[in-house]
Amino acid sequence: MSSIQSTPGYSIIKDWFQSLGNQPFPFQEESWQKFHEGYSGLVIAPTGFGKTFSVFISLVMHYLNHPAQYGEGLKLLWITPLRSLAKDLGRAMGESLAQIGLDWEVGVRNGDTPVAERQRQTRKMPDVLIITPESLHLLFAQKNNSAYFKHLKCVAIDEWHELLGSKRGVLTELALSRLRALTKELRIWGISATIGNIEEALDVLIPYQDTPRTLVRSRNKKKTEILTILPEEIEVLPWAGHLGTKMVQQLIPIINQSRTTLIFTNTRGQSELWYQVLLNAAPDLAGQLAIHHGSVDAELRTWIEEMLHKEQLKAVICTSSLDLGVDFKPVDTVIQIGSPKGVARFLQRAGRSGHSPFETSRIYFLPTHSLELVEAAALKEAAKKGVIESREPMVQTFDVLVQYLVTLAVGEGFREESLFKQVKQTYAFRYLEPEEWQWALRFITQGGDVLTAYEDFQKVIIKEGVHKVKSRRIAMMHRLNLGVIVSDPMLKVKFLTGGYIGMVEEYFVSKLNPGDKFGLAGKVLEFVMIKDMTVLVKKSNAKRAITPSWLGGRLPLSANLSAFLRQRFSEALKFGPLAPELKKLQPLFQWQQQYSHIPRADEFLIERIETRDGHHLFMYPFEGRLVHEVMSALVAYRLSKIQPVSFSMAMNDYGFELLSDQEIPLDKINWAQVLSADNLTEDIARSINAAEMAGRKFRDIAVIAGLVVKNYAGKFKNDKNLQSSSGLIFRIFEQYDSQNLLMRQAYEEVFYQQLEEPRLAAALQRIQQGKIIIVDAKAFTPLSFPIKVDSLRQDLSSEELDVKVRKMQAETMKSNGRQEIQKKIRN
């Protein structure tokens, strides 16, 4: 194949680049060449280096070189996970096309697209369509939709790393398998940030034997500067959530010296809290400070984003809501409050500042308790070494498969033999067995195995070999409920006088009484009542408010980061040059070493502490709270087999606590057995309530598979009699249809994703190979203290907690002063 540089398309593009005073990056040229040669592929480059133009221009160039191969309508389909990205991207593409001299139309299609616009598109498809995976599947649910894709030449998948590892990724895989079957010589090009498993990411995106594919990597490295904000004083007995707001004074000069600052918090609750704290500390920021998270009204969010572009805001406090999306030019500083719990997320957030090529991204890390300083040191090290988390692709997600089958049946209908081949080509379903496929078909045509004899179940019918949905009502309900993002029910929050503020979870509102104050979108509001699924509130002048604790806000520590964390700990008392964070923590480390022990990388520390509350065992695997949740239950179960004893448990990202009213005979315990990886699955199943956890996983599965209906069409409002909970259906299936593959999926999701069984097994093996150190500590230690405080949190108000913690700190200081400690090392 010829060199792209000798083609007329290339010279047109080159001229265009020159007219803008730009030079293409080598990786862009490489992707153009590979596209030209007929390859599909995956482009990996840091943000700001023109990833978009690698793929987009490839297609434009191909058109310029081979106009005869193109027909009317859709040429390029651009799949993006984010709605907010679409508009600006479309504008940028449109401008480029105009400058190059093509009169192509660029369309955007997602949940925000007005109906009229959508109808216009389906009458005449634009040349380029920017779409979300969900909207693409909705197109598949239309009559005669295959005609739209007749002249499609390329599908681009933007931010593939964001989709990979989620059910939206599976939706994308299925969509690609269909598009490939509809169009000849379709090129598939993904665009991704760096992740740990980039080869696998390519395998998932393009698993097709007959499609030549390639990886195109940018050699440009993004420079990132990581600065830790060190507290002036270190608390030897740390606790989460306390230190941060004390350090607000150190934030203000950083904000003042920057053009625009993005301040990332991990939860929506935290962002509300910091908004108040910052405004109290620097009242002159009023009007220049905004708050942006998933529960803030969409219009307000858009407005904030515009203000960011125009440099009208000094700082915006946000959550993952601003992790992705269009770059804001004025942003030159990012602050991360509290541990981001993963290297990839941290670097992605850093990249929101100084995003143009060769500029340095600058991120400040503000710890919310002193131990997070170790995390800061670990993050720096991991970032330096370029160790980034993987995104594990999801496989065998029957809920998504069932939804997809019904989607196709609502659209043009499908023939099962050919579709089976198509679906089985995807990475997600490459191990799909014919029996499982048949089950899925029975599920949508007969309702599964228990329902074979019913005539009233007519979801999908088979007519002349074609699976189709006939009922208009079922079709409508399916379209309304299509998608795989399931969130807890949210309620609108409005002023009594009108005026929309945002959304809160129903769960939070259910605990409010009239007169209670809560914070949302940076306002303090007084709860009045709920009416018509809307929370009515008044403005409040109260200074303090509870902040909604949105569920799912807590991120577990990634496996990568935890390995670095263990290493940093083992270096804590090393002589010689130390990271500034570790130097600052010396008093804490010395305390830990003196009254207990600092575990080296190959050591597993167990602390036994006795207090008035009872007998505590603290263990520190440093594997993140999710793994600790299971491990604590597992250890408790195995200990209770040696001697009947019951425990209550608490955990954080570093370790867990088992508390009992009986003494635990440590000498009788064979730790190698208690911490063994043998019989893991069986013992886990006995130690946790797997059925209950599976039931929770089933919530999403039931909605995705269409068993629980969330949205009702106006016309079929009466269908609200269909209201049922996934829990109810879970129980019914458990009793009457336990072989149902959706049930099996729920359990598998529990074991592999929630419990991270493989990670737990690896952790246990690591512990087995190292030394087990048992220490009789006389009082709480720097490591155990935050776990203890966390366990009190759910029962106490924040003021009560504050008082209680002070008291515990004083007591601990006192009892540690007088005793010798005993350390035992076991192999």
Partner 1 sequence: MEIFCNRESLILSADRVVYWPAKRAVILADMHLGKTGYFRERGIPIPSTVMHDDLQRLSRVIDTFQPEKMIIAGDMFHHNYNADIDIFKYWRRQQTHTEFILVPGNHDKMLPIDYEKLDIRLAPELFSPGFFAIRHEPSAQPAQFEINGHLHPGCVIKGRARQALRLPCFVVTSSQVILPAFSLFTGLFTGFKTGSPASYYAIANDMVVKLNGGED
The footprint of partner 1 (CB under 8 A) covers: 443, 446-448, 450-451, 454-459, 471, 473-474, 477-478, 510, 632-633, 636, 646-649, 689, 692, 706-707, 709, 719, 721-722, 724-725, 727-729, 731-732, 736-737
The separation between CA 13 and the C-alpha centre of its own chain, rounded to angstroms, equals 37
Residue 676 C-beta: closest distance to partner 1, Å: 21
Which of 726, 83, 172, 138 has its CA nearest to residue 476?
Answer: 138
Q: Between β-strands 461-463 and 466-468, what pairing exists: parallel, antiparallel or unpaired? A: antiparallel
Residue nearer to partner 1 on the CB measure, 357 or 447: 447
Q: Between β-strands 128-131 and 76-79, what pairing exists: parallel, antiparallel or unpaired? A: parallel
Evaluate whether 373 touches 581 at the Cβ level (below 8 Å): yes
Residue 361 C-beta: closest distance to partner 1, Å: 39
* Token pair for 324: 């992705």
* Token pair for 2: 């010829």
Question: Looking up tokens 């597993």, which residue turns up?
Answer: 604
Residue nearer to partner 1 on the CB measure, 147 or 649: 649
Question: Looking up tokens 């987009």, which residue turns up?
Answer: 56
- Give me the phi and psi of 463, to 5 degrees please: -130, 120
Which of 742, 752, 756 has its CA nearest to residue 699?
Answer: 742
**Reduced to 3 states, what is the DSSP secondary structure of residue 180?**
helix
Evaluate whether 226 touches 305 at the Cβ level (below 8 Å): no
C-alpha distance from residue 235 to each of 226, 285, 373, 584 (Å): 23, 30, 12, 11
Its sign, for the CA torsion 482, 488, 489, 495, is negative
- Give me the phi and psi of 520, to 5 degrees please: -150, 135
Residue nearer to partner 1 on the CB measure, 446 or 540: 446
**Tally of CB atoms within 10 A around 680:** 18
Cα radius of gyration (the chain): 28
How far apart CA 413 and CA 404 sit, in angstroms, is: 11
Residue 632 C-beta: closest distance to partner 1, Å: 8
Residue 748 C-beta: closest distance to partner 1, Å: 21
Residue nearer to partner 1 on the CB measure, 167 or 478: 478
Name, in order, each residue with C-beta under 8 angstroms of 45's C-beta and a sequence gap of 6 or more. Answer: 25, 27, 51, 54, 191, 193, 217, 218, 220
Residue 399 C-beta: closest distance to partner 1, Å: 14
Residue 664 C-beta: closest distance to partner 1, Å: 16
Residue 702 C-beta: closest distance to partner 1, Å: 9
Query: If phi over 0 gives left and psi between -120 and 50 gives alpha, with beta otherwise, what is residue 529?
Result: beta
Evaluate whether 43 touches 188 at the Cβ level (below 8 Å): no
Residue nearer to partner 1 on the CB measure, 209 or 510: 510
Evaluate whether 65 touches 9 at the Cβ level (below 8 Å): yes
Residue nearer to partner 1 on the CB measure, 447 or 553: 447
Residue nearer to partner 1 on the CB measure, 33 or 652: 652
Residue nearer to partner 1 on the CB measure, 577 or 644: 644
Name, in order, each residue with C-beta under 8 angstroms of 470's C-beta and a sequence gap of 6 or more. Answer: 458, 461
Residue 633 C-beta: closest distance to partner 1, Å: 6
Question: Looking up tokens 């709605």, which residue turns up?
Answer: 83
Residue 236 C-beta: closest distance to partner 1, Å: 29
Name, in order, each residue with C-beta under 8 angstroms of 88's C-beta and a sequence gap of 6 or more. Answer: 326
Residue nearer to partner 1 on the CB measure, 360 or 689: 689
Residue 376 C-beta: closest distance to partner 1, Å: 30
Residue 706 C-beta: closest distance to partner 1, Å: 7
Residue nearer to partner 1 on the CB measure, 119 or 510: 510
How far apart CA 585 and CA 403 sit, in angstroms, is: 52
Residue nearer to partner 1 on the CB measure, 201 or 729: 729
Residue nearer to partner 1 on the CB measure, 457 or 752: 457
Residue 478 C-beta: closest distance to partner 1, Å: 8
